[in-house]
């Protein structure tokens, strides 16, 4: 099931080595839709997969 949405991001700006936090937030901002399959969350920009997450308690 695909969902479309619009979000506003607020961040604490904690220290992360390199540019990790900025890269992560930039990718979230350009996400246009997501998909959940089983224990996986997929974030897309248009048709291109941007990030893939797995549930921590997927056992």
Three-state SS sequence of the chain = CEEECCCCCCCCCCCCCCCHHHHHHHHHHCCCEEEEECCEEEEEECCEEEEEEECCCCC
Alpha carbon distances (Å) from 21 to 24, 36, 53: 5, 23, 16
Residue 24: inside a domain: yes
State the total domains in the chain: 1
Least confident of 14-18, 26-30, 31-35, 41-45: 14-18
Q: Examine residue 14 and state whether it is found in any structural domain, yes or no.
A: no
pLDDT above 60 (res 1): no
In which band, very low, low, confident or very high, does the pLDDT at 40 lie, cut at 50, 70 and 90? very high
Burial of 15 (0-12, 13-18, 19+ CB in 10 A): exposed
In a domain, 30, yes or no: yes
pTM over 0.85: no
pLDDT at residue 52, rounded to an integer: 95
Q: What is the pLDDT of residue 25?
A: 85
- Determine, yes or no, domain membership for 58: yes
The token pair that represents 7 in the structure block: 């979000």
Bigger pLDDT: 18 vs 11? 18
7 falls within a domain: no
Residue 47 lies in a domain: yes
């Amino acid at each position: 099931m695909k969902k479309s949405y619009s979000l506003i991001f607020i961040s604490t700006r904690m220290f992360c080595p390199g540019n990790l936090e900025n890269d992560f937030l930039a990718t979230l901002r350009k996400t246009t839709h997501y998909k959940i399959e089983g224990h996986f969350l997929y974030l897309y920009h248009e048709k291109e997969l941007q990030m893939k997450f797995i549930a921590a308690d997927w056992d």
